[in-house]
Structure 1
Amino acid sequence: MENTQTIDRNETRETISSEKVDGTAVYGRDGEQIGSVHHLMIGKRDGKVRHAVVSYGGFLGMGEDYFPLPWNELTYDESRGGYVVNRDVAQLKEGPRYRRDEEPSWDRAYESQLTGYYGAI
């Protein structure tokens, strides 16, 4: 017997697959698109999303900068179909960022740098 209701396996009312988050637009407080979610950093032991790495600029992956944002900096806006961060591009560019070939170590010192920067501005 076929189920007449289609269940979207990538999203429920309270959860969303990381596959659907990757590529989602990220908007600044001015409403302009800053970039898009490139990937998420998830705690291995607790399973909680720690950071969304937002890609900005570049073309076809060339010249992109990546801005790791603490996950609690992003709020999903259904009307935009994307995430909103209460920051502007200038604040992101002054904060921790890296290029594709310069990925950070993601150790405790880097974590402290990220949380310290976003907690201070």
Structure 2
Amino acid sequence: MTEPVAISETDRLIASDKVEGTKVYNRQGERLGSIRNFMVNKRSGRVEYAVMEFGGILGIGNEYYPLPWEMLDYEEAQGGYVVDLDKDKLEGAPRYRDRDPVWDEIYARQVYGYYGVPFPVF
């Protein structure tokens, strides 16, 4: 008898719709924002980055921060993702508001470089 295919969550897997809205904290326990979505490389199937939403009121004026997926650690006790990032570093981070940036290799390297994360080779 085969196991049913997971569609929500298992010990090691989670559905994309359950990631959206998950809170993001720094190591000091301060809430930085929440996951709006994450972007998957169409060819490799690998998650490249998460988009963290921060600021604004009732969705107006929100800013979006692309975070390399490798930066995020899920911590059950916290009930969200934790990153090694303080609010000062976030102030100068790559972000956008009204229009998605062109996620080409140049921009991707800038984002990964800002956070000191090695750029992935696919």
TM-score (ref. length: structure 1)? 0.88
- 2:120 maps to what in 1? none
- 1:115 maps to what in 2? 112
Structure 2 CA distance for aligned equivalents of residues 90 and 97 of structure 1: 14
Structure 2 CA distance for aligned equivalents of residues 93 and 42 of structure 1: 26
- Paired residues for 1:65-104 under 5 Å: 65-99=63-97, 101-104=98-101
- Paired residues for 1:7-46 under 5 Å: 9-46=7-44
Structure 2 CA distance for aligned equivalents of residues 39 and 90 of structure 1: 23
What is the percent sequence identity of the aligned residues?
50
- Structure 1's unaligned 5+ residue stretches are 1-6
- Structure 2's unaligned 5+ residue stretches are 118-122
CA 1:27 to 1:119, structure 2 compared with 1: closer, same or farther past 3 Å?
same
Structure 1 CA distance for aligned equivalents of residues 103 and 87 of structure 2: 22
RMSD after superposition: 1.7
Partner of 1:90, secondary structure, is helix
Instruction: Give how far 1:55 is off.
Output: 0.5
CA 1:40 to 1:80, structure 2 compared with 1: closer, same or farther past 3 Å?
same
After superposition, the C-alpha distances for 1:39-87 in whole angstroms (9 at most, x for unaligned) are 1011010111110110011112101111110001010000011000010
Partner of 2:7, secondary structure, is coil
Q: Which amino acid aligns with 2:108?
A: E
Runs of 4+, deviation exceeding 4 Å: none
Aligned residues: 114
